[in-house]
Amino acid sequence: MLAPNSERERLPDCVGCRKPLFVGDMGFAYEDELCCAECAPTYEQAKAEWEEQKDEPQDNPEAYAEFCKAYDAHIAAGGKPSDQCVTVL
């Protein structure tokens, strides 16, 4: 059981709906932006975003590698590309 919001560390608000987010919530992290679980993209959408930027200089090439690993692990675990890409923040 999670501690009440007042006792958890506050994170930046969701970029989609401005909902306050806290450490331990489910959501999606993209560089320094966070989305709540409802606004999180699907694996498919996140992959497409990454692939669009593939030819541009990357500030953070490790982040793409990390994402690919997470994507493959999700599929290997029986997940679908249309599932939302959420992790514990």
Enumerate binding residues for Zn ion (CB under 5 A): 14, 16-17, 19, 36, 39
The two tokens of residue 79 are: 């997940």
Nearest residue (CB) to Zn ion, 18 versus 69: 18
Minimum separation from the CB atom of position 32 to Zn ion (A) = 16
Let me know: does 3 contact 67? Beta carbons within 8 Å: no
What residue spans of the chain are helical by DSSP H?
43-52, 61-76
Of the pair 37, 64, the CB lying nearest Zn ion is at 37
Task: Show the tokens assigned to 8.
Answer: 């958890």
Closest contact distance (angstroms) between CB of 78 and Zn ion is: 26
CA-closest candidate to residue 35, choices 54, 18, 48? 18
Minimum CB–partner distance for residue 38 and Zn ion (Å): 5
Our CB check for Zn ion shows the closer of 39 and 63 to be 39
